[in-house]
């Protein structure tokens, strides 16, 4: 399940457009992640909701809107790398 999650998350991260519905696509797979990963996903989803819910207000406050998007993107990239580590790092440890 984690591999399917990563396969869906990778195009979201590398895409030049981002829509809130993209997070809904990976939401069912969050149940198979660790608490840390769930927290990062909830944080990224909350920031996405905040940005799109208050779009007009945040656009007027451009630094705040930019900060919200940067933090959201950092959380999603960290989520990706933590998930990759948990998928492949744990396999390497078991072989030893």
pLDDT digits 0-9 by tens, 7-54? 999 988 888 887 788 888 899 999 999 999 999 999 999 998 888 877
Cα distances (angstroms) measured from residue 56 to each of 23, 40, 52, 63: 22, 26, 9, 13
Rg (CA), the chain: 15
CA-CA distance, 56 to 69, in Å (whole number)? 14
Domain total in the chain: 1
The domain in which residue 61 lies consists of 2-95
Q: Classify residue 91 by burial, with Cβ atoms within 10 Å: 0-12, 13-18, 19+.
A: exposed
CA-CA distance, 28 to 83, in Å (whole number)? 15
Determine the pLDDT at residue 90: 66
Determine the pLDDT at residue 69: 87
State the residue for tokens 């207000």: 57
């Amino acid at each position: 399940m984690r591999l399917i999650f990563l396969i869906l998350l990778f195009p979201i991260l590398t895409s030049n457009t981002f829509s809130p519905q993209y997070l809904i696509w990976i939401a069912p797979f969050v149940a198979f992640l660790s608490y840390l990963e769930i927290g990062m996903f909830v944080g990224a989803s909350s920031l996405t909701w905040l940005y799109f819910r208050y779009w007009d207000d945040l656009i007027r406050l451009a630094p705040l809107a930019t900060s919200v998007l940067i933090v959201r993107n950092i959380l999603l990239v960290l989520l990706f790398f933590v998930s990759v580590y948990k998928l492949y790092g744990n396999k390497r440890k078991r072989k030893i």
